[in-house]
Amino acid sequence: EGIVGLVASRLMNHYYRPALVMRRGEDETTGSARSVEGFHITQALEYCGDLLTRFGGHAQAAGFTLENDSVEAFHERLLAYAAEHLTEEMLQPRILVDAIVDLSELKEPSVASLGELEPCGAGNLPPVFASRKVRVEFARCVGSDGRHLQMQLSQNNGPRLKAIAFGLGELECRPNQGDLIDIVYTPRLNHWNGNTSVDLEIQNWRPAQ
């Protein structure tokens, strides 16, 4: 029961669909729900309120409990609600960016100044930038299981910047050397051996548009 929320989150992120994961007990079933932007999962549970013993949450995460005998009816009711309220547009992942910049703008002083926005967290997310038509100069999978993608990137024959994309090394369609891509990322200052460089933490990418 303690991991249903974690599993629901991973399913939602992997398939980008609202996900509900339940654990059936002796008499009751307890579940956790995670949703995509635009589909208010707690309102979906309210639509099924007469079938639930208790529930609560917010737009994108919720928990609920119901009797085992109500699970099938709950499933059918949810599908009916989704058919009316879940649109194809909601199922297209989006990342909102703060600015579209050239990599040449990412000088050490400007990246250092982003520290004035900290502390970052819920309600104050780190700044997210996008750059278009970036060339992949080097790419390889790293980590004990090859899950992460390490790259060197350049734009308009400018200097190469190191980049890391956590969890994207497993993708069969990952970028290769020589590809032109659009990237979404957060820049970081990397201090190592007395040297400072600008590195990119890649959130996502696509072939250059």
9-28 per-position pLDDT tens digit: 999 988 999 999 999 999 99
| pLDDT given for residue 171 in this prediction | 65
pLDDT of residue 121 exceeding 80: no
**Mean pLDDT, residues 181-196:** 90
Q: How confident is the model at residue 170 (pLDDT cuts 50, 70, 90)?
A: low
Distance from C-alpha of 114 to C-alpha of 102, rounded to nearest angstrom:
16
| pLDDT given for residue 176 in this prediction | 86
6: helix, strand or coil: helix
Q: Which residues of 40-74 are buried (b: 16+ CB within 10 A; e: fewer)?
A: bbbebbebbeebbeebebeebbbbbebeeebbeeb
pTM greater than the 0.75 cutoff: no
Range from 27-31, 46-50, 90-94 carrying the lowest mean pLDDT = 90-94
**Mean pLDDT, residues 69-94:** 95
More confident residue, 23 or 125: 23
**Mean pLDDT, residues 111-131:** 86
pLDDT of residue 44 exceeding 70: yes
pLDDT of residue 172 exceeding 70: no
pLDDT of residue 147 exceeding 90: no
